[in-house]
Structure 1
Amino acid sequence: MITSIPHLFNEQMTETDVDLGAVTAPSGVLVLGMASWIDYWPQVGRPLSERARKAAVSGGGHLHGSEGSEPRAGTCEAIAVGAAAGRPLPVRAQTSASPFDGEPTIAVLEVGLGLPWTGSEDGEPLQLGDLPVDRCGMVLGDARALDGFTGLDGQSTDGLADVTYWGKYEDDIHEHFGGDRIPQHLSGYGPRGWLDLPLAEAEAIAEQLETWTREGPGNGLMVAIDAHTDFHRFNRAGWNHPLLAGMIEVGGCSVLGLGWDPGDHSIRHRGERAYGQVYPATLEARADEAVLRWTIPPYAPDVDERS
């Protein structure tokens, strides 16, 4: 079930402190991880929930790839912390203007953990590690629930799929086969297609479109079939949110997905860990309560870009 997030921006997009809703962590362990790798953890060692619980018991920490190795590019990474099991955990973002298009983008993600602050009396932040921004998005949710997260190549969770098409012969296809405009941005822009089709029907329609185009006008149409994986569901839930944020239910828990504009990502986060584009995660005190904070500093062009 997809749960909408309240629309909290005005048309000028001037707000810099945004309520993104609340996640739940009945296991008592909360994870912020790279979306394209969440279902990959069993291939590099123990399940995510086991590794996350161990880190949380020790006060929280950074998880990455094979245990005992150094963080490296091109593998799964996450931050794990303890959290209150019996209450919603509020999530807020602070924004800064994107150097790509000037639109607000996430600069700080902060999650109230529902637990008392047990760090230093002066509230000095505790360093947990750092994370790159996954170009496919980030996931925030209960560690145990995320063990069952269906990723990019996973199976449909409800037997349904979406079919979309776009490209040179889009208008010709629309004239012959129909398909609604599917807005995937606040501007109302998006491909045409059909949502919530039985998977077999979706595959048959996609094949029909591709065959008609190939045998008729030729190359010039892109067709996508998106099974209702958890990955696709959180992307879809964020289509019309200014920060591409979407809340879905996974394993009975409220889980938040965060998408990234490709243009903005290519400027601010390009290269990810391989190029040192990683950002600190900390535990901090807010009114004697512990919060998880992930900080993405404002973009600053390097010397070559300024010259």
Structure 2
Amino acid sequence: MAETFVALGTVDAPSGVLVLGTAGGVDQWRELGRPLSERARTAAANGGGHLQEWSCEAVAVPAAADRPLSVRASTSPSPFDGEPTIATLEIGLGLPWPGTMSRSAPVRLGDLPVDRCGMVVGDADGLDAWTGTDDEPANGLADVFYWGRYEDDAHAQFGGERIAEHGADGPYGWLDLPVAEAAARAAELTDWRDRVHGRGLVVSVEEHTDLHRFQRAGRHHPLRVGAIDVGGCRTLGIDWDQGDHAMRHRGEREAGQVYPVTLEADRAGETVMRWTIPPHDPDDEDA
């Protein structure tokens, strides 16, 4: 039975090199000796390949530099809640399949785990500008969230709005505050909790790094996909439901939870990159 794909959006690759990688480590490549763009260009010059250092992983491939590249996915039910999750991620690279290569079999480039922080698809040069958890937000803003046993008491005292997430009510909080104001508000909530209850309320400040921005951009998408600008390039981030990750992908590479990335020719003879995550099989758990 043929897979049914849904469009996720487009990305730009003006450098001519496209990267699919683990979002949690994008900002760390430059701390490990060489920028991601340099490593990716080397891999792409050889037709594409897998990159890994420490916990940072990516696959880099050549791609058309002069047009948007379409990204789509097929889905399978999550064992956690039955909701659709990505089964095959497919990225059109805007290049013809090489005439010297057979179209009968995929070309395997390596494999990737599902990162707990999500995945990112974008231009190799653009991703050198990516900001992660420990980086300063370029816009100087942050979001504040709070939730837990005493969230209604806290709301009566401090206010805030319900932040909808994935079709349901999320935590209370405030969006788009200056970082200093966000930190002060979080401190006020924490001090009140400690004085009145001692525990029972979680307070979080999320600065507007690229990691947070893509997760926020995908808050209302059924597959948790969000588009943001990174380094002047349109980039897609794909978040993962934490329950689904815990049941299917926990442990990631160390636990052997990795999935193949291939180059293939589509029906029109164009080159696509595919990342294939097999549907959940409960018999695997029994084994």
CA contact (8 A) 2:218 2:224 kept: yes
Q: Over residues 249-284 of structure 1, what are the superposed CA-to-partner deviations in whole Å (9 max), with x where a residue is unaligned?
A: 111111000011111111111211111111000010
CA contact (8 A) 2:24 2:132 kept: yes
- Residue 166 of structure 1 aligns with an amino acid whose one-letter code is W
Query: May I ask how many residue pairs the two structures share in their alignment?
Result: 283
In the aligned structure 1, how far is the partner of 2:198 from the partner of 2:251? 36
Q: Which runs of 5+ in 2 are unaligned?
A: none
Note if 1:128 corresponds to 2:109: yes
Matches within 5 A, 1:206-225: 206-225=186-205
* Residue matched to 1:176: 157
| Superposed displacement of residue 17, structure 1 | 1.8
In the aligned structure 1, how far is the partner of 2:214 from the partner of 2:173? 19
CA contact (8 A) 2:166 2:220 kept: yes
* Residue matched to 1:226: 206
CA contact (8 A) 2:146 2:172 kept: yes
- Residue 135 of structure 1 aligns with an amino acid whose one-letter code is R
Q: TM-score, normalised by structure 2?
A: 0.95
Matches within 5 A, 1:47-66: 47-65=35-53
| Aligned with 1:162 (options 124, 132, 143) | 143
* Residue matched to 2:76: 96
For the residue of structure 2 that corresponds to 1:176, the secondary structure is helix
- State the 4+ residue runs in structure 1 displaced beyond 6 angstroms: none
Note if 1:239 corresponds to 2:219: yes
Note if 1:42 corresponds to 2:30: yes
* Residue matched to 1:31: 19
In the aligned structure 2, how far is the partner of 1:59 from the partner of 1:88? 20
In the aligned structure 1, how far is the partner of 2:286 from the partner of 2:230? 45
| Superposed displacement of residue 123, structure 1 | 4.1
Q: TM-score, normalised by structure 1?
A: 0.89
* Residue matched to 2:134: 153
* Residue matched to 1:17: 5
Q: Over residues 80-111 of structure 1, what are the superposed CA-to-partner deviations in whole Å (9 max), with x where a residue is unaligned?
A: 00000010000000001111111110000000
| Superposed displacement of residue 168, structure 1 | 1.4
In the aligned structure 1, how far is the partner of 2:14 from the partner of 2:253? 31
For the residue of structure 1 that corresponds to 2:7, the secondary structure is strand
In the aligned structure 2, how far is the partner of 1:122 from the partner of 1:157? 44
CA contact (8 A) 2:75 2:87 kept: yes
For the residue of structure 1 that corresponds to 2:136, the secondary structure is coil
In the aligned structure 1, how far is the partner of 2:191 from the partner of 2:116? 32
CA contact (8 A) 1:16 1:96 kept: no
| Superposed displacement of residue 301, structure 1 | 2.8
* Residue matched to 1:295: 276
* Residue matched to 1:4: none
In the aligned structure 2, how far is the partner of 1:54 from the partner of 1:132? 22
In the aligned structure 2, how far is the partner of 1:124 from the partner of 1:213? 60
| Superposed displacement of residue 147, structure 1 | 0.5
Q: Which runs of 5+ in 1 are unaligned?
A: 1-14, 66-73
- Residue 135 of structure 2 aligns with an amino acid whose one-letter code is G
| Superposed displacement of residue 302, structure 1 | 4.5
RMSD: 1.4
- Residue 28 of structure 1 aligns with an amino acid whose one-letter code is G
Note if 1:285 corresponds to 2:274: no
* Residue matched to 2:235: 255
* Residue matched to 1:84: 64
In the aligned structure 1, how far is the partner of 2:32 from the partner of 2:121? 20
Note if 1:111 corresponds to 2:91: yes
CA contact (8 A) 1:77 1:131 kept: yes
